[in-house]
């Protein structure tokens, strides 16, 4: 690498992705790096981090971090300030789901999802704030079609995904004065390890879900990453506080409506 190339590399915009070692986060990191940016992946899983950084090469760095711990998140962003010296966007993907019948759900089960999704996103956003204020950067949070619907056994998951829209709007309004835009993407069902786990546990049957999607298929992670990248980038410079639904038309589908005279 020549000195000029190295300088260009070092000046490249930096994206931090929580949950960046898998699924939608990894696809987002890959797409950002493909446009010439640098990525810092924050994740719980060291093995998955090593594998992802191995795939992305020297544009990527992995940081072992747990978004349920304020110290861990603060240390990760302090390392970005020190090592990368800038931050242009944060995408908060860290998440999981634990479907349980609501009447049997323990406080711990309900609380654990609030910790990862809502508190985790808040911790990352707060830690990123000074760096994003400096760069005029942006944040993209992850809601879901579960942020618009009630689904059985998903009381904690649906709560956090509805809440994410509220958190996103509030940060968008408050931090606009700091030059930071905050938006959410609400994906529909996407082929990632997240859903593979739920399917293996017997908590998810893909076929009836596919039948509800007008496009009759699930998303690939890359199809969620592109809209995330759009919102994170300056191409969306006047989009603020918006939740972009990327679900193949699932949430707006009114195809249950039939004209009785057309039925026969």
Ligand X SMILES: NC(=O)c1ccc[n+]([C@@H]2O[C@H](COP(=O)([O-])OP(=O)(O)OC[C@H]3O[C@@H](n4cnc5c(N)ncnc54)[C@H](O)[C@@H]3O)[C@@H](O)[C@H]2O)c1
Q: Would you tell me which residues interact with ligand X (CB under 6 A)? A: 18-19, 21-25, 43-45, 48, 65-68, 93-96, 116, 120, 142, 144, 187, 189-190, 192-195
Given the complex with ligand X, which of 72 and 135 has the nearer CB atom? 72
**Cα atoms in the 13 Å half-sphere on the side-chain side of 95:** 27
157 is catalytic: yes
DSSP-derived secondary structure for 12-41: S-EEEEETTTSHHHHHHHHHHHHTT-EEEE
Nearest to 124 by CA among 111, 106, 142, 98: 142
Given the complex with ligand X, which of 13 and 25 has the nearer CB atom? 25
**Residue 42, beta-bridge partner list:** 18, 63
- The nearest distance, CB 28 to ligand X, in angstroms, is 9
- The nearest distance, CB 225 to ligand X, in angstroms, is 10
> Which residues make Cβ contacts (< 8 Å) with residue 22, sequence separation at least 6?
43, 45, 48, 52, 192, 193, 194
Given the complex with ligand X, which of 95 and 137 has the nearer CB atom? 95
What's phi and psi for 17, nearest 5 deg?
-125, 115
Given the complex with ligand X, which of 10 and 71 has the nearer CB atom? 71
Q: Among residues 157, 189, 238, 257, which one is catalytic?
A: 157
Chain residue whose CB lies nearest ligand X? 23
- The nearest distance, CB 142 to ligand X, in angstroms, is 4
Q: Are 53 and 32 in contact (CB under 8 A)?
A: no
- The nearest distance, CB 168 to ligand X, in angstroms, is 13
What amino acid positions are annotated as catalytic residues? 157
């Amino acid at each position: 690498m020549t000195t000029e190339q190295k300088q260009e590399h070092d000046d490249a915009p930096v994206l931090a992705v929580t949950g960046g070692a898998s699924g939608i986060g990894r696809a987002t990191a890959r797409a950002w790096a493909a446009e010439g940016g640098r990525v810092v992946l924050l994740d719980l899983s060291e093995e998955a981090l090593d594998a992802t950084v191995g795939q992305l090469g020297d544009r990527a760095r992995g940081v072992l971090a747990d978004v349920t711990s304020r110290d861990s998140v603060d240390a990760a962003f302090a390392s970005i300030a020190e090592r990368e010296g800038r931050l242009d966007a944060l995408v908060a993907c860290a998440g999981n789901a634990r479907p349980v019948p609501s009447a049997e759900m323990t406080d711990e089960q309900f609380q654990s999802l609030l910790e990862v999704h809502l508190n985790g996103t808040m911790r990352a956003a707060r830690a990123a704030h000074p760096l994003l204020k400096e760069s005029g950067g942006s944040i993209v949070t992850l809601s879901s079609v579960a942020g618009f619907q009630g689904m059985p056994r998903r009381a904690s998951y649906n709560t956090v995904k509805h809440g994410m829209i509220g958190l996103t709007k509030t940060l968008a309004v408050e931090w606009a004065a700091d030059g930071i835009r905050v938006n959410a993407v609400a994906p529909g069902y996407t082929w990632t390890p997240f859903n593979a786990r739920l399917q293996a546990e017997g908590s998810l049957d893909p076929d009836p879900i596919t039948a509800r999607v007008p496009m009759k298929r699930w998303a690939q992670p890359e199809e969620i990453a592109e809209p995330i990248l759009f919102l994170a980038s300056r191409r969306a410079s006047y989009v603020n506080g918006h939740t972009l639904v990327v679900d193949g038309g699932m949430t707006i589908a009114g195809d249950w409506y039939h004209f009785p005279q057309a039925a026969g």
